[in-house]
Amino acid sequence: MKRARIIGTGSYLPAKVLTNFDLEKMVDTSNEWISTRTGIDERRIAADDEMTSDLALIAARNAMDMAGVKAEDIDLIVVGTITGDYPWPSTACIVQDKLGAINAGAWDVSAACSGFVYALSSAVQFINGGNAKRALVIGAEIFSRIIDWEDRNTCILFGDGAGAVVLEAQEGDAGVLSTHLKADGSFWELLYQPGFGAVHPASVSGIEQRLPFLRMAGNEVFKVAVRSMYEVANEALTANDMTTADLAMLFPHQANRRILDAVKKRLKLTDEQMFINVDKCGNTSGASIPIALDEANRKGMLKEGDIIMFDAFGGGFTWGSCLVRW
């Protein structure tokens, strides 16, 4: 049976580092507060002339180099992002053009911090159904452009970046074993961007009301995130007749350290079974899982046959898991 196998990973973080000490000069906060509440020490911020498609392109090229795949060999490009270059066209189309991936269909997936898991799951269905041989799946975000830099509740959490994987249909046991996607739209108002869409079209008064910036009810997000990430990770293991003991490594969405610690505790994972880089990257939303995966992969932390899992949660609410034999 052919499976969608990850044959290359790549990532890109912008050069500019924004530390907690930098934030102390911007809003009423402290390194100590941010570090103890979130586990974040620093995050990257895209340069003014860097767009989401630029970050995505570098991550994609790195993944394609590792995979040894040329642009014309790619059948589809799926980008998980909610901070694309434009409301439309899709950032995937812009990446498709910049890569010269002339044989690829391309679209974006809007699932906030679950964007990569949703995008990966979409691509896997095409490969499993025999409709694509190779897919490029990217998570890319520039949250620094939708953050209210005067709101200390939210501006300390997020960072910019991109990660990518190349999937290829291959015979054998290795590859994506399952994907489980979930949503509960009744929670949409706990984490969202009010403007500018159909409800609040662009207006000067909308800017004065700060509608284009992210809004979040942090405490409520926290509780549902922990429960949902735990449940959907368990669902994936049960569906594959596995337990947490089978997991070589979990790659959770890097929301913040306390969410990750709570998930780790509920799943009874060891430190070695949980990959965490939120301290250096902050919350990069849909990009966080492929950035983490690429870091682990390039450090040689994954070996053939390892069982790994992606476990995401984000606005919508959306959440999902993806179990992979490496």
Does residue 237 touch ligand ACO according to CB under 6 A?
Answer: no
Q: How far is the CB of 141 from ligand ACO (least distance, A)?
A: 11
Q: What are phi and psi of 62, to 5 degrees?
A: -60, -40
Write the CA distances from 159 to 32, 50, 101, 310, integer angstroms.
Answer: 19, 14, 28, 20
Nearest in space to 140 (alpha carbons), one of 71, 55, 64, 60: 55
Asked if 134 and 73 touch (Cβ cutoff 8 Å), the reply is: yes
Q: How far is the CB of 233 from ligand ACO (least distance, A)?
A: 14
Q: Is 283 a catalytic residue?
A: yes
Does residue 35 touch ligand ACO according to CB under 6 A?
Answer: no
Return the number of the residue (175 or 316) whose C-beta is nearest ligand ACO: 316
Return the number of the residue (196 or 222) whose C-beta is nearest ligand ACO: 222
Q: Is 297 a catalytic residue?
A: no
* Category of 241 on φ-ψ map: left (φ > 0), alpha (ψ -120 to 50) or beta: left
Return the number of the residue (62 or 318) whose C-beta is nearest ligand ACO: 318
What is the DSSP track for 80-140?
Answer: E-SS-SSSSS-HHHHHHHHHT-TT-EEEEE--GGGHHHHHHHHHHHHHHTTS-SEEEEEEE
List 31's β-bridge partners, or say none: none
Residue 173 CA to residue 305 CA, distance in Å, equals 8
List 215's β-bridge partners, or say none: 192
The amino acid present at 42, given as its one-letter code, is E
Burial class (CB in 10 A: 0-12, 13-18, 19+), 300: exposed
Binding mask 166-195 for ligand ACO (x = CB under 6 A): -------------------------x----
Among 8, 159, 252, 314, binds ligand ACO (CB under 6 A): 314
| Candidate ranges 169-177, 180-188, 254-262, 293-301; the one touching ligand ACO (CB under 6 A) | 254-262
Give the other-Cβ count within 10 Å of 255's Cβ.
Answer: 27
What SS3 state is found at 245?
helix
- Catalytic-labelled residue, pool 20, 62, 256, 283: 283
Binding mask 281-300 for ligand ACO (x = CB under 6 A): --x-----------------
Among 19, 103, 131, 153, binds ligand ACO (CB under 6 A): 153
Interface positions, 52-91, toward ligand ACO (CB under 6 A): none
Q: How far is the CB of 40 from ligand ACO (least distance, A)?
A: 9
What is the DSSP track for 200-218?
Answer: S-S-HHHHHTTTTS-EE-H
Does residue 162 touch ligand ACO according to CB under 6 A?
Answer: no
Interface positions, 98-137, toward ligand ACO (CB under 6 A): 113
Return the number of the residue (73 or 151) whose C-beta is nearest ligand ACO: 151
Does residue 219 touch ligand ACO according to CB under 6 A?
Answer: yes
Q: Is 256 a catalytic residue?
A: no
- Which residues are part of the catalytic machinery? 113, 253, 283
Binding footprint of ligand ACO on the chain (CB under 6 A): 29, 33-34, 37-38, 113, 152-153, 156-157, 191, 216, 218-219, 221-222, 225, 253, 255-256, 258-259, 283, 313-314
